[in-house]
Amino acid sequence: MIDKALLETLAAKPVAPADHLIDGVARAASDGGRLEVISPLNGQVLTTLARGTTDDATAAVMAARRAFDDGRWSGLAPAARKAVLLKWADLVEAHAAELAVLGVRDNGTEIAMAFKAEPLSAVGTIRYFAEAIDKITGEIAPTAPGTLGLVHKEPVGVVGAIVPWNFPLMIGAWKLAPALAAGCSVVLKPSETASLSLLRMAELAHEAGLPPGVLNVVTGEGATVGAAIAESMDVDVLVFTGSGATGRHLLEASARSNFKRVYLELGGKSPNVVFADAPDLDEAAKVSAQGIFRNSGQVCIAGSRLLVQRSIHDAFVEKLKAHAEAMQVGDPLDPETAAGAINSEGQLTRNLAFVDAARAEGRRIVTGGHRILEETGGYYMPPTIVADVAPGDAIARDEVFGPVLAVIPFDTEEEALAIANDTEFGLAAAVWTADLSRAHRMVRRIRAGVVHVNTYGGADVTVPLGGVKQSGNGHDKSLHAFDKFLDLKTAWIKL
């Protein structure tokens, strides 16, 4: 955890206006446009960003293309790339407090989580892929005598990366680290509501020795900057984490341009299934509360649908309520805060609208469901539990992306499975049971990319994260992440 005095110093530090990072230098928007950065802590202007234009995005792509084609990075030996990336990780670690506080002021995540889940998570991810790259080998095919079949693994080229606001450093590192380790050049577009920490982390990459043009950051609105990257004929691969609606636009842009490969992580409505024979119901309630209410529910894998076996339903909801109401909600820069601010006023309004709709349908608001701390000017909402929810309710089907938990009772394993799979999403899930056979059955039959058993969250960089159904395609984390950024090239040689 950050020293309290250092925390106060960093929290009081003015934040300078931020520009793009293109070809290794800071660059203002081509038309001089600026975007205000509103801090969710108090609703006040924190600083401004360059409001990127299509020309800015194009300049960044061209810088990345030149950097890739001339081999200043892609042509280096893997061990040389590893050395730079490891130095970058060291610098990020050294500046972790600065990065964490900057990110909290920008997007509202509570500092206790932000410190670990943002810069320190990014450090671990960068080191993991840096250490892996000189161990990725080609193949020799089992050919007939007189021929030699070689399979080379080569960097794909220029990667466009569009990342969300909830965990910009963690998710950004999931994209950047394997792409850069593989030898690609990157154009990164952060969310306009969470750009500051990513820009600073990119500056540290250049301090570590990353050549100019290899990592470029263009800030601004998705409809302009994101669209320009997606439609560019010089972007070879596009990686994105965000909404399904935006994912569809990116796929359409690929079809309109050069059929670039598009890898999407589109969120979820993750079922968290608690059976009566869970090994520790108190622990299940505590971890389930953390699984939905950490970062104010603004987590892709948040267990936002809680399925509870009817025989323990009422008692379990009371346990959950106790944990929810014990969580301190407030200033994210206070180390005692368990849940910080909602990212924006628009997101807060959306969260409350889901609760109002559930209330109008006669659902029971167990706790929360309203705006709090309005006098601060910030965007705060307490952990909210909605019970007596039907599987077809909007609050049980749509991704709220806030601290809102929908509780659904069930009787049998088959009913639980049917409800769990009755969603267009398939990113994550959890099962709580002491029955080993049931656990394996549920893992096999729940349609999700990650299924937790007797826990929720915490899977590290060694295992893949990816969705099925409308939660997307491709995988972040683990060695499988390299699949997005390496092309296979066959050499067929007559001897």
Q: Which residues are catalytic?
A: 265, 300
Structure tokens at 410: 């069930």
Contacts 24+ apart (CB under 8 A), 327-331: 327/289, 327/293, 327/382, 327/383, 329/296, 329/372, 329/373, 329/380, 329/381, 329/382, 329/383, 330/373, 330/380, 331/41, 331/376
Q: Are 378 and 43 in contact (CB under 8 A)?
A: yes
8-state DSSP, 167: S
Provide CB contacts within 8 A for 356, sequence distance 6+: none
Structure tokens at 149: 């079949």
Instruction: Look at strands 486-494 and 147-155 and give their pairing.
Output: antiparallel
Is residue 12 packed enough to be buried (19+ CB in 10 Å), middle (13-18) or exposed (0-12)?
Answer: exposed
Tell me the sheet residues that pair with 188. Answer: 161, 217
Q: Rounded CA gap, 235 and 233, in Å? A: 6
Distances (CA, A) of 203 to 143, 185, 211, 380: 47, 15, 11, 32
305, containing H or E segment: strand 305-309
What does the buried/exposed string (b/e) look like for 235-262 if buried means 16 or more CB atoms within 10 Å of the residue's CB? bbbbbbbbbbebbebbeebbeeeeebbb
Cα Rg, the chain, nearest whole Å: 23
Q: Are 312 and 274 in contact (CB under 8 A)?
A: yes
Q: Sheet harboring 25-27: ordered strands across?
A: 25-27, 20-22, 215-217, 185-189, 158-162, 237-241, 261-265
Assign 142 to helix, strand or coil: coil
Contacts 24+ apart (CB under 8 A), 477-481: 477/125, 477/174, 479/132, 479/136, 481/129, 481/174, 481/178
